[in-house]
Structure 1
Amino acid sequence: MRSLTRISWCGAIAALALSAGCSDEQSLSDKYPTQWQTCNTLFGTENMASLRDMVGPDDLELTNGSLSVDELKESLTEEALEPYNKFKGFDEYDVCRLSGDHSFSAIVAWAPASLKEVQSPSGRWHQVGTSVYVSDYSPIVLVFRCDIPGASSGQQAQVLLESRIHEVGAPEFTEVFHQKLTVSLARTLSTELACVNKPVIPDDLQIGE
């Protein structure tokens, strides 16, 4: 009886260890709490669960630096309020970089391309909303006007906010899902930054049309 009890106890411990170790989401949130929360906020929990499955399942890591959504907001707002330094340019923020069997990355920045440039009919951009433009080469780049309270009129009129999302080299990562991630990121940025012009990011970015 003692032997059976020991086997049963060991089996229970093994089962517990297996169940604890099978959750990639749990291990990622434990190892990279700030990065995981930022990714979840910017893209949504459901989208991140799908991304985790596409990028994984083995040896998943969040390889971008620890940057909270509040820190991202503060940095972007500070750049918008300061005089533009043409030698330094704008900073880029690596907001979510998930690595495993494949990789996923997303970058946010004030766009180097001006409103005048993206409106050029000879350029690579097409308009999908009021002051919302998309370049559907790889990666998908979406830019939109985001007026920050206190920023100069020139900044508000000419400088666009950019989100850049790279493809994941997995069959499940479809064009539709790529577009969904792009829309989610842009809408979240607009909400978090409280853009006073309230940009409308459409569901359909007319990718590939």
Structure 2
Amino acid sequence: MSQKYPTQWKTCNALFGAENMQSLREILDSDDLKLSNPALSVDQLREGLTDEAIGPYDKFEGFEEYDVCRLSGSRLFYAMVGWAADPLKAVQTYTERWHKAATDVYVADSSLVGSDIDIVFRCDIGSASSEQQKQVLLEARVNAPKSLKFSDAFHQQLSVNLARALRDELECTNEPTIPDALPISK
């Protein structure tokens, strides 16, 4: 599969870890498994998110949602990233939905978002001045495939790896701490 989808596979490995991707392939256990997201390199993702961070928010267009990894077969796994439309203050005050995981890191209540783990965290882009940077909350969403082999612990691990990889790739100067354990429900 890595030969048929080299860019997608490399991006998935970089964002989730090669061992996790191998485990995910085994969990999905499908003869017709394929990567169905568009070819998007980590460099393209970083450039797109950085450009959007300093641009004005378009209320009609919204932000780009980057489909970073989508494995499909008999079951579906996918992950999306992008800048959150909500400002930090809104997330901090919407305590019915968002649970604080660490300083400026929040996780959506899993009972409200179904089988997704949705993390938002403040990410200050070093190449942008505070006047230039318009967007501050980066969002990472990881969907769980419907499989008895796919555990909540593995789902959290994938979500944490994605958030940390984004933090590192974008070189968030505020260095948000993404904890291993996420408060995903009340």
Same fold (TM over 0.5): yes
Match of 1:87 among 42, 54, 60: 60
Contact 1:183 1:202 in 2 (8 A): yes
User: Highest Rg: 1 or 2?
Assistant: 1
Establish whether residue 182 from structure 1 lines up as the match of residue 159 from structure 2: yes
- Name the amino acid aligned to 2:121: F
- 2:173 maps to 196
Match of 2:45 among 53, 59, 72: 72
Structure 1 residues 174 and 154: CA distance shift in structure 2, 3 A: farther
Q: How many Å apart are 1:154 and its aligned residue?
A: 6.3
Establish whether residue 102 from structure 1 lines up as the match of residue 89 from structure 2: no
- Name the amino acid aligned to 1:189: L
Task: Encode CA deviations 1:25-65: one digit per residue, 9 max, x unaligned.
Answer: xxx11100000000000000110011101112311100000
| Secondary structure at the counterpart of residue 26 of structure 2 | helix
Structure 1 residues 150 and 76: CA distance shift in structure 2, 3 A: same
Query: CA separation in 1, counterparts of 2:93 and 2:135?
Result: 14
Q: How many Å apart are 1:73 and its aligned residue?
A: 0.2
Alignment of 1:8-23 (within 5 A): none
| Secondary structure at the counterpart of residue 68 of structure 2 | strand
Establish whether residue 115 from structure 1 lines up as the match of residue 88 from structure 2: yes
Unaligned runs of 5+ in 1: 1-27
Contact 1:42 1:189 in 2 (8 A): yes
- Higher RCO structure, 1 or 2 (CA under 8 Å, sep 6+): 2
Contact 1:117 1:123 in 2 (8 A): no
Query: CA separation in 1, counterparts of 2:54 and 2:6?
Result: 30
Moved more, 154-163 or 107-116: 154-163
Structure 1 residues 85 and 121: CA distance shift in structure 2, 3 A: closer
Moved more, 77-86 or 57-66: 77-86
TM-score for both structures, normalised by structure 2? 0.92
| Secondary structure at the counterpart of residue 185 of structure 2 | coil
Structure 1 residues 203 and 122: CA distance shift in structure 2, 3 A: closer
Establish whether residue 30 from structure 1 lines up as the match of residue 3 from structure 2: yes
Query: CA separation in 1, counterparts of 2:29 and 2:62?
Result: 35
TM-score for both structures, normalised by structure 1? 0.82
Q: How many Å apart are 1:122 and its aligned residue?
A: 4.2
The count of aligned residue pairs is: 182
Match of 2:27 among 39, 54, 67: 54
Task: Encode CA deviations 1:128-149: one digit per residue, 9 max, x unaligned.
Answer: 1010000132211000000012
Query: CA separation in 2, counterparts of 1:144 and 1:207?
Result: 15
Runs of 4+ in 1 over 6 A off after TM superposition: none
**CA RMSD, aligned part only?**
1.7
Query: CA separation in 1, counterparts of 2:57 and 2:48?
Result: 14
